[in-house]
Amino acid sequence: MPYRRLPNTDKARMRALKTAHELGKEIPPFKLAFSQQTLQRLSSFLPKYEKALQEYNNTYKIQTSNQKEYQNRLKKARLYISHFIQVVNMSITRGEMPPKTRTYYGMQEDEKKLPALTTEQDLKKWGSRIIEGEEQRKKTGLPPVTNPTIAVVKVNYDNFIDAYQFQKQLQENHHRAAEKIHEMRKEADQIISSTWDEVESTFSDRTDQQRRSKAKEYGVVYFYRKNELGKLNFQYLQNNSGASLL
Express each pLDDT in 170-180 by its tens digit. Answer: 999 999 999 99
Domain ranges of the chain: 3-237
Provide the whole-model pTM. 0.76
- Does the structure show a pLDDT above 50 at 234? no
Per the CB < 8 A criterion, the answer to whether 1 and 208 are in contact is yes
Amino acid 201: pLDDT: 96
Looking at every residue in the chain, the average pLDDT score rounds to 92
Amino acid 3: pLDDT: 83
- Does the structure show a pLDDT above 50 at 236? no
- Does the structure show a pLDDT above 50 at 243? no
Per the CB < 8 A criterion, the answer to whether 34 and 198 are in contact is yes
Tens of pLDDT, residues 179-199: 999 999 999 999 999 999 999
CA-based angle 153:158:162, to the nearest 5? Answer: 150
Q: What 3-state class would DSSP assign to 3? A: strand
- Does the structure show a pLDDT above 60 at 212? yes
Using CA atoms, how far apart are residues 72 and 208, in angstroms rounded to an integer?
61
